[in-house]
């Protein structure tokens, strides 16, 4: 028998985004509610720009190599961002973000425009380069279109496709009509002359201002805008794969903005929307009354937030447990021993040792003091507890107390009519055995395991569950991808903490992107500073037409 000796490379440490796997059920819920929009598709202008560029390039370069396509695509993205950045500088509307915000490479290219003299020409390839240099606008070879937008434009809207050689192409059935609609409102020839010349002047940027994303709202780009409304808002369901869920979520957002009527908001619009779905109360304190499909959609967004709140509470407990183990350099032989030790040590012991002394008594106390779902200002409401859990300025004891109360409050809100993951997503949408900590499992555990425990044993059991789940999730990631995300490792002396401090992280449920899409399409307008945006008359008309259909 032959033997081969070789070196084994150690796994590469990676910080990771979801060390407990608690975010995955939340992601699965919001993905079903806003298909066709992702948390990296920030500007809807790229939904038209991508097919237009692929079609326009094919018209001009029929026998091009992949490398030539990539070079021109990268120059095109650079040019588009330069146009938006220039328009932001020259337009005195007070909202520069609506011109160049979230355009690919804007953080690099905004400075290029700002520092360019009136006579200086900008060489596009200097920033479109694939070389690892400081002025490169984007790392991915196929640019922002390939990294951010291709997947959704290919899979949901079928506007783009790709060949085996990785060249991006438009589809004849849907991509070509979109490209032709874009071409009616922009100077395609001049844009490509700048690409081929590899130089653009400030004067050129000004003359190409119709490409700025803000111009989608103008009459000149009416054909493109109408087709985007048809596809993304689901006015023509045949133009996308999953139009119904997206249409209902967008209609609910418009309804929320109409009901709020531009009122003052303490938080970002997407956060206010989620709270309103969960508590059925608007930022101005008025009730938000919903019926029919809108109520059902709001229930699903509220269920997403329930899972998100649970995720944040569990992450906070995990963070504080690791900090305690690291601080005291405890020698802990098992996960169960680690959970017991944490529950009997600062800062957990002050919470665990306080009255009431049993889980049942503690749960009864929380349930009896449960505020109305609409009373979000009450200190015991989930929304207030959420604020304490994520507030980094709070002392560990206060954050731990808020986290465990939040978990019990979520359980106490649960009744026979509450959504479950299976009810919300259907069967087989997510393998829950890979993500054992979720809203359904917590409710089940509270009924079958925790009810007979003392309070300190319950906290110890919860911490052991968290620590054990992290090990399970991290080891699965290690086996699947080779990325080592373990924060709790086993050494000769027992368990020890390694890696970065845990950040209590939110998911990104695509609502910010949906709100920006509505603005880019002219369906919302900015109100006063610190106030929610207002839907335009056209948005309300579209909403009414949908209700009538």
Return d(Cα 72, Cα 67) in angstroms, integer. Answer: 9
Contacts of 38 (CB under 8 A, 6+ apart): 148, 151, 152, 510, 513
User: What is the arithmetic mean of pLDDT over 177-185?
Assistant: 98
DSSP 3-state assignment of 489? strand
Return d(Cα 376, Cα 382) in angstroms, integer. Answer: 7
Return d(Cα 486, Cα 505) in angstroms, integer. Answer: 17
Return d(Cα 113, Cα 86) in angstroms, integer. Answer: 6
pLDDT at residue 427, as a whole number: 67
pLDDT at residue 544, as a whole number: 79
pLDDT at position 207 over 60 = yes
User: What is the arithmetic mean of pLDDT over 493-503?
Assistant: 92
Return d(Cα 540, Cα 532) in angstroms, integer. Answer: 16
249-258, 274-283, 421-430, 450-459: least confidently modelled range: 421-430
The model's pTM is 0.94
Q: Look at residues 372, 392, 395, 391 and name the one whose alpha carbon lies nearest to residue 382.
A: 372
Return d(Cα 74, Cα 265) in angstroms, integer. Answer: 39
pLDDT at position 548 over 60 = no
Q: What percent of the chain has pLDDT over 70?
A: 97
User: What is the arithmetic mean of pLDDT over 46-56?
Assistant: 98
pLDDT at residue 11, as a whole number: 81
Q: Look at residues 278, 283, 275, 233 and name the one whose alpha carbon lies nearest to residue 259.
A: 283
- Residue ranges of domains in the chain, CATH in brackets: 37-239 (no CATH), 243-287+508-548 (1.10.10), 292-497 (no CATH)
User: What is the arithmetic mean of pLDDT over 83-99?
Assistant: 94
Burial per residue of 142-176, b for 16 or more beta-carbon CB atoms within 10 angstroms, e otherwise: bbbbbebbbebbbebbbbbbeeeeebbbbbeebbb
pLDDT at position 383 over 70 = yes
DSSP 3-state assignment of 161? strand
Return d(Cα 33, Cα 305) in angstroms, integer. Answer: 13
Return d(Cα 196, Cα 326) in angstroms, integer. Answer: 58
Contacts of 291 (CB under 8 A, 6+ apart): none
pLDDT at residue 16, as a whole number: 84
Split at pLDDT 50, 70, 90, the class of 221 is very high
Q: Look at residues 494, 321, 292, 496 and name the one whose alpha carbon lies nearest to residue 403.
A: 321
CB 345 within 8 A of CB 325: no
Mean pLDDT for all residues in the chain: 94
pLDDT at residue 423, as a whole number: 87
Contacts of 59 (CB under 8 A, 6+ apart): none
| DSSP H/E element including 343 | helix 335-343
Split at pLDDT 50, 70, 90, the class of 93 is confident
User: What is the arithmetic mean of pLDDT over 328-333?
Assistant: 91
What is the β-pairing status of strands 160-162 and 168-170?
antiparallel
Q: Which long-range contacts (CB under 8 A, 24 or more apart) does 367-375 make?
A: 367/408, 367/412, 370/409, 370/412, 370/413, 373/278, 373/279, 373/280, 373/413, 374/279, 374/280, 374/281, 374/287
């Amino acid at each position: 028998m032959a033997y081969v000796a070789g070196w084994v490379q150690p796994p590469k440490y990676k910080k990771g985004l979801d060390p407990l796997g608690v975010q995955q059920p939340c992601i699965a819920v919001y993905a079903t509610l806003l298909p066709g929009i992702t948390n990296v598709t920030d500007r809807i202008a790229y939904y038209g720009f991508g097919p237009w560029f692929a079609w326009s390039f094919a018209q001009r370069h029929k026998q091009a190599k992949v490398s030539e396509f990539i070079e021109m695509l990268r120059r095109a993205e650079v040019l588009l961002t330069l146009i938006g950045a220039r328009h932001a500088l020259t337009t005195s509307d007070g909202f520069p973000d609506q011109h160049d915000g979230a355009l690919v490479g804007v953080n690099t290219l905004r400075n290029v425009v700002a520092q360019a003299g009136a006579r200086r020409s900008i060489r596009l390839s200097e920033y479109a380069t694939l070389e690892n240099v400081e002025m490169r606008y984007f790392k991915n070879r196929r640019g922002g279109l390939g990294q951010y937008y291709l997947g959704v434009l290919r899979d949901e809207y079928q506007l783009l496709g790709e060949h085996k050689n990785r060249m991006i192409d438009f589809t004849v059935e849907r991509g070509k009509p979109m490209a032709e609609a874009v071409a009616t409102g922009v100077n395609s020839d001049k844009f490509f002359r700048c690409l081929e010349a590899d130089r653009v002047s400030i004067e050129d940027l000004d003359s190409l201002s119709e490409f700025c994303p803000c111009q989608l709202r103008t009459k000149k780009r009416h054909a493109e805008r109408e087709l985007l409304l048809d596809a993304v808002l689901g006015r023509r369901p045949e133009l996308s794969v999953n139009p119904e869920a997206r249409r209902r979520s967008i209609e609910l957002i418009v309804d929320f903005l109409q009901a709020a009527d531009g009122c003052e908001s303490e938080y970002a619009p997407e956060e206010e929307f989620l709270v309103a779905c969960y508590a059925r109360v608007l930022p101005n304190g008025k009730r938000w009354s919903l019926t029919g499909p809108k109520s059902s959609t709001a229930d699903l967004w509220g269920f997403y937030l329930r899972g998100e709140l649970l995720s944040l509470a569990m992450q906070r407990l995990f963070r504080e447990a690791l900090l305690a183990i690291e601080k005291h350099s405890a020698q802990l032989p098992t996960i169960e021993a680690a959970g017991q030790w944490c529950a009997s040590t600062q800062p957990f012991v002050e919470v665990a040792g306080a009255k009431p002394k049993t889980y049942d008594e503690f749960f009864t106390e929380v349930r009896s003091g449960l505020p109305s779902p609409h009373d979000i200002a009450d200190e015991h409401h989930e929304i207030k507890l959420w604020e304490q859990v994520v507030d980094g300025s709070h002392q560990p004891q206060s954050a731990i107390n808020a986290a465990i109360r939040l978990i019990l409050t979520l359980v106490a809100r649960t009744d026979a009519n509450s959504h479950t993951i299976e009810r919300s997503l259907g069967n087989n949408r997510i393998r829950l055995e890979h993500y054992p900590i979720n809203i359904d499992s917590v409710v089940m555990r509270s009924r079958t395991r925790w009810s007979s425990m003392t309070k300190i044993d319950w906290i110890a059991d919860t911490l052991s569950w968290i620590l054990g789940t992290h090990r399970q999730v991290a080891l699965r990631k290690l086996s699947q991808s080779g990325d080592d995300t373990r924060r709790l490792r086993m050494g000769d002396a027992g368990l020890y903490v390694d890696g970065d401090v845990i950040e209590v992280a939110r998911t990104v449920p695509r609502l910010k992107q949906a709100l920006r899409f509505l603005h880019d399409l002219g369906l919302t307008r900015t109100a006063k500073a610190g106030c929610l945006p207002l839907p335009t008359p056209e948005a309300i008309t579209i909403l009414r037409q949908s209700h009538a259909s």
